[in-house]
């Protein structure tokens, strides 16, 4: 793998308004919170942040905005050295999420407001010079355009002899987004979506997803299914399962973005540090656990790969 190349994270960036409460509020009551803050959020955006905190070169590809509300997000991307050279611009207000962190249970409740914010298109994507990137990470959304973006990467690789790794964060709209798994090297599948599907274990999730992906004839992606405190299970391309236990955080402070940090840890360990699947998932578990021990993402940097 080429360590000089960057990672490209494709998706959304949003404002997360985070409210910290002792316990989850009862509906229609008037309460005070313990504290609160806001930060740049969004799945691919958080993956970029954690990768950067871990010292990996990363660019973000999503729609940026010239609106006043977005200025702080731009400033944060710039301050962290997350590249945005390919991002199209709109004047629309950014999407936002209202997040409640409940201290007694450690839960994070997210209410997302998309505001019909535009998404990047394949036409935007083909302007990117893919020679910069050795790994492209996608959110499972905007299916038609995302599928074409993935196809463009595969065509680019065929023409140039480059090997670009593609990963997918699969969290929503199973039937619609299933086709996005085919061109991928790695699919990270969410526990929440698995539960919605009625799948009760990470093993079952890997198995059911693998069965649904098959039939296309091409090489199957590696499936990774993080299952919170139960650890993660992955299914490799030879059909073998691997179980990797989670790490118990010393304290549960902030679970928002733990899944995104897991993804970043996995990408860093696989791409930059060239770890095998098991070791990379183990590192991802450590990163997710570390993330939970503090607010935001900056404190993760104290965790180096061993
Ligand atoms: C966490 C997160 C938040 C964002 C929400 C979007 O995984 O990316 O930062 O508000 O999910 O669905």
The pLDDT assigned to 129 comes to: 98
Instruction: From the CA of 258, give the closest atom in ligand 1.
Output: 7
The pLDDT assigned to 7 comes to: 98
Instruction: From the CA of 42, give the closest atom in ligand 1.
Output: 8
The pLDDT assigned to 4 comes to: 81
* Whole-model pTM over 0.85: yes
The pLDDT assigned to 2 comes to: 47
Q: Binning pLDDT at 50, 70 and 90, where does residue 215 land?
A: low
**Centroid of ligand 1 to alpha carbon of 41 (angstroms):** 6
Mean pLDDT of the chain: 95
Kindly state if the Cβ of 41 falls inside 6 Å of ligand 1: yes
**Centroid of ligand 1 to alpha carbon of 190 (angstroms):** 13
Please report the domains of the chain, with CATH numbers, ordered by start residue: 6-11+43-67+117-299 (3.40.1190.20)
Q: What is the pLDDT of residues 113-169, one digit of tens each?
A: 998 899 999 999 999 999 999 999 999 999 999 999 999 999 999 999 999 999 999
- Give, using CA atoms, the residue closest to atom 9 of ligand 1: 41
Q: Are 263 and 11 in contact (CB under 8 A)?
A: no
Does residue 1 carry a pLDDT above 80?
Answer: no
Kindly state if the Cβ of 46 falls inside 6 Å of ligand 1: yes
- Give, using CA atoms, the residue closest to atom 2 of ligand 1: 42
């Amino acid at each position: 793998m080429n360590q000089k190349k960057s990672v490209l994270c494709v998706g959304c960036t949003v404002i997360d308004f985070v409210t910290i409460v002792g316990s989850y509020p009862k509906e229609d009551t008037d309460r005070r919170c313990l504290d609160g803050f806001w930060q740049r959020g969004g799945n691919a955006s958080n993956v970029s942040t954690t990768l950067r905190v871990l010292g990996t070169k990363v660019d973000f590809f999503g729609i940026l905005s010239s609106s006043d509300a977005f200025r702080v997000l731009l400033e944060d991307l710039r301050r962290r050295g997350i590249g945005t050279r390919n991002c199209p611009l709109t004047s629309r207000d950014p999407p936002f999420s209202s997040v409640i962190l409940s201290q007694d249970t450690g839960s994070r409740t997210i209410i997302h407001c998309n505001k019909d914010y535009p998404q990047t298109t394949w036409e935007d994507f083909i302007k990117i010079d893919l020679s910069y990137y050795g790994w492209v990470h996608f959110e499972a959304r905007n299916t038609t355009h995302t599928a074409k973006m993935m196809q463009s990467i595969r065509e680019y690789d065929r023409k140039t002899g480059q090997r670009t790794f593609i990963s997918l964060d699969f969290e929503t709209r199973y039937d619609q987004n299933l086709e996005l798994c085919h061109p991928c090297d790695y699919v990270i599948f969410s526990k929440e979506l698995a539960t919605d599907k009625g799948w009760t274990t990470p093993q079952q999730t890997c198995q059911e997803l693998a069965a649904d992906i098959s039939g296309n004839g091409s090489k199957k992606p590696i499936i990774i299914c993080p299952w919170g405190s139960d650890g993660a299970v992955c299914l490799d391309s030879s059909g073998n399962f691997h179980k990797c236990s989670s790490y118990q955080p010393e304290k549960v402070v902030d679970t928002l973005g733990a899944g995104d940090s897991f993804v970043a840890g996995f990408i860093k360990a696989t791409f930059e540090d060239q770890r095998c699947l098991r070791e990379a998932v183990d590192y991802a578990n450590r990163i997710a656990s570390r993330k939970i021990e503090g607010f935001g993402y900056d404190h993760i940097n104290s965790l180096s790969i061993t």
